[in-house]
Amino acid sequence: MSVYKIPLDQNVLEAAEERITWTLTTLPRICVSFSGGKDSGLMLHLTAGIARKLKKKICVLFIDWEVQFSCTIDYVQSLREQYSDVIEHFYWVALPLTTQNSLSQYQPEWQCWDPNAEWVRQPPADAITDPAYFPFYQPGMTFEQFVRDFAEWFSEKRPAAMLIGIRADESYNRFVAIASLSKQRFADDKPWTTAAQGGHTWYIYPMYDWKTADIWTWFAKTKQPCNPLYNLMYQANVPLRYMRICEPFGPEQRQGLWLYHVIEPERWAAMCARVSGVRSGGIYAGQDNHFYGHRKILKPEHHSWQSYAMLLLDSMPEQSAEHYRNKIAVYPANGIKKKGMENIPQTPGRRYRLQRYPLMATYLQGAIEQ
């Protein structure tokens, strides 16, 4: 994997437009993955604008998480209408999908649009709610599996593209998605492409080299509509890195969870009844809480990291505790064996951090906070 970022002889906007143009003129089927957030929103603006010039059609995939701000739903609908002339099909998916709930150890996962639960809101009339719509769909399948299977289904066994608005600066995992030399690319000079499972679809990352400042500069200069939820988050002093609009109860998204209480109190009440841990998340997931808001942890002085991790483990619900005991027994042990270490390190470190007791304590601390 390359650890270097090599500057290009063009700015990020020119590069993104060039990549999108190449995608539209090379692959016959194009789908934009859209969440309602700033990155995927900008990518949809660019892709739809270029498609108009080229007289091409595109499709859009939007996963409706049931628990979403009204302004996000309104924004998604507005872009759907703005680019209706170039959108061949808008897949507004409102099917039961299982995903992470970082607010509770008692319900570490939750399922949107659960047919056995009282929903927070109703899906649009034209949303995809029939489980039989997609032949690959299985009730309660994970979001990640759904997206992978959708990509292959969408291709119709022909070359296709899924445009995804991830940026390498957002996280190490996203940097690896671009920089890894083990990924299969469309061509050596197309490092922003990755082959999807099935062999027919290519994941395209046209904005991989954009920074957060580039995103907001583009919106400021073009005056194109952006999700107004970002303005509300900014006014509420939510840090830029925690301004996430996707899965509602993820580790980053919970930073702005309390905004539901202020902006949409009726929806907040329904959320508290719908998903375990929402109320405590709204109270404790603010900027001032070291762990719950930022996943930072300080151990008691009279404990070693090992004893503190075990104390937290004993404090968890039995089902969750057993889950983590298995991980601690297997995953770190494998890492220790590969690295030639005799035991799990007691101190934090940048290398091999997943095999260290401090990181275990960080994850296990969630049981205490809830």
User: Using CA atoms, how far apart are residues 295 and 252, in angstroms rounded to an integer?
Assistant: 10
Write down the pLDDT at residue 344: 53
**pLDDT over threshold 60, residue 218:** yes
Write down the pLDDT at residue 53: 98
> Is the pLDDT higher at 50 or at 321?
50
The pLDDT of 102-111, averaged and rounded, is 72
Domain range annotation of the chain: 12-204, 305-369
- Asked if 44 and 87 count as a contact pair (C-beta separation under 8 A), the reply is no
**pLDDT over threshold 60, residue 112:** yes
Range among 66-70, 248-252, 267-271, 324-328 rated most confident: 66-70
- 82 burial (CB, 10 Å; 0-12 / 13-18 / 19+) is middle
The pLDDT of 147-152, averaged and rounded, is 96
The pLDDT of 310-322, averaged and rounded, is 76
Residue type, 164: I
User: Using CA atoms, how far apart are residues 65 and 274, in angstroms rounded to an integer?
Assistant: 13
Q: Which of 246, 224, 5 is nearest to 102 (CA)?
A: 246
159: pLDDT confidence band, cut at 50, 70 and 90?
very high
User: Using CA atoms, how far apart are residues 335 and 70, in angstroms rounded to an integer?
Assistant: 45
Write down the pLDDT at residue 353: 41
Write down the pLDDT at residue 355: 42
CA distances for 148 relative to 15, 46, 144, 181, angstroms: 26, 24, 6, 21
354: pLDDT confidence band, cut at 50, 70 and 90?
very low
Write down the pLDDT at residue 196: 86
Residue position matching structure tokens 């905004």:
259
Write down the pLDDT at residue 294: 47
Average pLDDT, the chain: 80
Instruction: Give the predicted TM-score (pTM) of the model.
Output: 0.77
User: Using CA atoms, how far apart are residues 183 and 304, in angstroms rounded to an integer?
Assistant: 40
pLDDT digit string, tens, across residues 172-196 = 565 666 666 666 666 767 778 888 8
Please state whether beta strands 97-100 and 109-112 pair in parallel, antiparallel, or not at all (unpaired).
antiparallel
> Is the pLDDT higher at 312 or at 177?
312
pLDDT digit string, tens, across residues 24-46 = 999 999 999 999 999 999 999 99
Range among 170-179, 225-234, 303-312 rated most confident: 225-234
Write down the pLDDT at residue 191: 79
pLDDT digit string, tens, across residues 236-285 = 777 777 777 877 766 665 666 767 777 777 777 777 777 766 666 655 55
**pLDDT over threshold 70, residue 217:** yes
Write down the pLDDT at residue 351: 43
Tokens of 223: 């005056």
> Is the pLDDT higher at 33 or at 364?
33
The pLDDT of 6-19, averaged and rounded, is 88
Write down the pLDDT at residue 100: 77
Write down the pLDDT at residue 213: 93
Of 55-69, 108-122, 269-283, 310-324, minimum mean pLDDT range: 269-283
Q: Which of 278, 235, 253, 258 is nearest to 104 (CA)?
A: 278
Write down the pLDDT at residue 99: 82
Percent above pLDDT 70 for the chain: 70
> Is the pLDDT higher at 258 or at 49?
49
User: Using CA atoms, how far apart are residues 225 and 110, in angstroms rounded to an integer?
Assistant: 31
- CATH fold of 12-204, please? Rossmann fold (3.40.50)
User: Using CA atoms, how far apart are residues 269 and 118, in angstroms rounded to an integer?
Assistant: 12
Write down the pLDDT at residue 206: 94
Beta-carbon contacts of 112 under 8 Å, excluding residues fewer than 6 positions away, are 64, 65, 66, 67, 94, 96, 97, 99
**pLDDT over threshold 50, residue 352:** no
Write down the pLDDT at residue 290: 47
